[in-house]
């Protein structure tokens, strides 16, 4: 199990081939949990673009269904 200390401030993702975005664009990052029953949604803004990656700053985070997120693994 991984525990995060503090709130996610952003993300660094691999730049998809043919991506045509630019600094300042809005991107939603979705992280499925529990076989897709719950999803963490993070609204981000492109902070920087490099040859192989994109840096994102968090604007808003939605943790989804609180009941699913706080239950014990395997339930």
| Residue 30 maps to a domain | yes
Strands 10-14 and 53-62, sheet pairing: antiparallel
Give DSSP secondary structure letters for 3-70.
--SS---EEEEEPPTT----TT-EEEEEEEEGGGTEEEEEEEEEEEE-SSEEEEEEEEEE---HHHHH
User: Residue 69 has what pLDDT?
Assistant: 55
CA 71 from centroid of its chain's CA atoms:
21
| Residue 4 maps to a domain | no
| Residue 51 maps to a domain | yes
| Residue 40 maps to a domain | yes
| Residue 75 maps to a domain | no
Q: Provide the residue-wise pLDDT of the chain in tens; the chain has 75 residues.
A: 445 555 678 889 999 999 999 999 999 988 887 776 778 888 999 999 999 999 999 998 887 666 655 666 555
User: Residue 3 has what pLDDT?
Assistant: 54
Total domains in the chain come to 1
Tokens at 1, concatenated: 């199990």
Question: Distance between CA 10 and CA 44 in Å, rounded?
Answer: 7
Quote the pTM value: 0.72
**Residue 29 lies in domain:** 10-70
């Amino acid at each position: 199990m991984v525990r995060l200390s503090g709130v996610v401030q952003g993300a660094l993702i691999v730049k998809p081939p043919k991506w045509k975005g630019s600094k300042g664009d809005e991107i939603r990052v979705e992280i499925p949990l529990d076989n897709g029953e719950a999803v963490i949604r993070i609204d981000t803004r492109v902070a920087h673009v490099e040859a192989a990656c994109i840096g994102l700053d968090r604007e808003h985070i939605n943790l989804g269904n609180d009941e699913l997120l706080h239950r014990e693994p395997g339930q």
